[in-house]
Amino acid sequence: MASSPSGEDASPFIDLLQAAPSRFSSLPPGLAEHLTFLFFLLSLNPSETLMNTKWVTSELAWTPHPETGWEEVSGHDSSTNPIRTYQVCNVRESNQNNWLRTGFIRRREVQRVYVEIEFTVRDCNSIPNIPGSCKETFNLFYYEADSDVASASSPFWMENPYIKVDTIAPDESFSRLDSGRVNTKVRSFGPLSKAGFYLAFQDQGACMSLLSVRVFYKKCARTIASFALFPETLTGAEPTSLVIAPGTCIPNAVEVSVPLKLYCNGDGEWMVPVGACTCAAGYEPAAKETQCQACPPGSFKAKQGEGPCLPCPPNSRTASAAATICVCHNNFYRADSDTADSACTTVPSPPHSVISNVNETSLVLEWSEPRDLGGRDDLLYNVICKKCQGGAGAGSASCSRCDDNVEFVPRQLGLTERRVHVSRLLAHTRYSFEVQAVNGVSGKSPLPPRYAAVNITTNQAAPSEVPTMRLHSSSGSSLTLSWAPPERPNGIILDYEMKYFEKVGTRSAVPLHELVLQMRKLRLRGRVTQVGSKRAEV
């Protein structure tokens, strides 16, 4: 049975165990972990001593009754250390009733105590000329009290008020004075309720020596289980009792299941814990899983759990300990769907080798993949259409977004293919198309997406009709006319064609002349009865 020097001597070790994580934090990691675990082992002592005669070198001064019974003598143990013992050997007289009572022993709120007795007993058969009353056993009693009130005559030297614990017999007795064999017996009693108690030993005719008496109690030492701290807990009143100890998470740990409790059995041993804690995000298990240690700079831990800290992913960093995520370097980003252990990535370079194939008022655009994908595989393309003023061959042109009439197949935005068909463009119009490359972090960048541009001009087409004609003056033999250009010239207007007719009664007019003009104003002389159609040619 393990023991500590005393209850007072053991508590500093336990307190130091609690302080170990902070006291050893400045030491090298390996040494700090070793020392913490050493103090942890020191705290595992499952018992505390209330009294031990081996530590006493002066007189014990216990109370014998009668005084002719037990006698205190000095001796040496097997290691030649001085000890104080009691012995009795009134075997030649019958009807022996020799009592020996210890001093008052305070119980320290424990409910059950244990007594370890080392003793020797002389074999009655080895003692000549003794009556048949010789015994090789003795009785153990206890008496509870709220203070040290015992005297030479009180309580009465009898089984009641004393409470009998057990009759104790040796495993081995000796037959010669120089060959005593030491017996060790442990007995327990309880429940105790008063401030303290006395032990009493009753001899009824044995030849024996009490070499040492140790009184102790069992406890479950303060411990850490499942990253939860459970306090020192005294055992229950009965050997089969289970005492519940509530737990709290160790520093930098969080609860994952509740309630936190641990059962202490009658032998001072912890049972399986109920509930658990785990290291918080930014902390990893250390010191035999008795601590949660901050992740050092350059590492992180995104989630709570028993996993270790991990090095920062590519293109990221941490400047402090206990990081839950590594910050991306400048111009590198994480998408909202990226996990904390994902590498930081950047935007792609622009597409290259854009090819356009114009067919009247439609075209096909094709391009090659960017040379740098930014470290991602979620590449998409957008095609931006801009209509430029000034027409083909114009110098610097101002461009604006195309209207909604322009049609893109399969679509304009979010293309996965590197090809798009654009239709419903205006004839003989200058356009600029930007092919953007985007990925999952393009929206995180403050800069617009990178693109490759291509300028095209659609083919010419027949112009629309001249919208209006205006008569400026007329006489019996002449007309002066003017007209507006077509609303959609669809190219460069080369000339205008005009026909005029003579109307005969109600019949349809028959054209008299056709004119091809390059101006938008005309004066006719002669007999003119009706001016017919006019059109522009390109």
Q: Is 251's pLDDT higher than 80? A: yes
pLDDT at 145: 97
Q: Name the CATH architecture for the domain at 220-328.
A: Sandwich (2.60)
Confidence bin at 17 (pLDDT 50/70/90): very low
Q: Which residue's entry shows tokens 């629309």?
A: 464
Distances in whole angstroms, Cα of residue 416 to Cα of each of 6, 115, 336, 420, 453: 78, 84, 21, 10, 18
Report the pLDDT value the prediction gives residue 268, as an integer from 0 to 100. 92
Determine the average pLDDT of the residues in 210-220: 96
Determine the pLDDT at residue 13: 39
Beta-strand relationship, 82-89 and 207-220: antiparallel
351-457 folds as Immunoglobulin-like (2.60.40)
Out of 194-198, 346-350, 453-457, 466-470, which region has the weakest mean confidence (pLDDT)? 466-470
pLDDT attached to residue 523: 58
220-328 and 351-457: identical CATH topology: yes
Domain ranges in the chain?
48-218, 220-328, 351-457
Percent of the chain at pLDDT > 70 equals 81
CA-wise closest residue to 431 among 442, 422, 440: 422
CATH class of 48-218: mainly beta
Give the burial string for 52-74 (b: 16+ CB within 10 Å, else e): bbbeeeeeeebbbbeeebbeeee
Kindly report, residue by residue over 377-409, the tens digit of the pLDDT. Answer: 999 999 999 999 865 544 456 899 999 999 999
Residue 39, pLDDT > 70, answer no
In the predicted model, what is the mean pLDDT of residues 522-532? 49
User: Residue 281: phi, psi to the nearest 5?
Assistant: -60, 140
- 295-311 pLDDT, tens digit each: 999 999 999 999 999 99
Report the predicted TM-score, pTM, of the whole model to 2 decimal places.
Answer: 0.63
pLDDT computed for residue 20 by the predictor: 45
Which of 1-15, 161-175, 473-487 has the weakest average pLDDT? 1-15
Query: What integer pLDDT is reported at residue 77 of this predicted model?
Result: 77
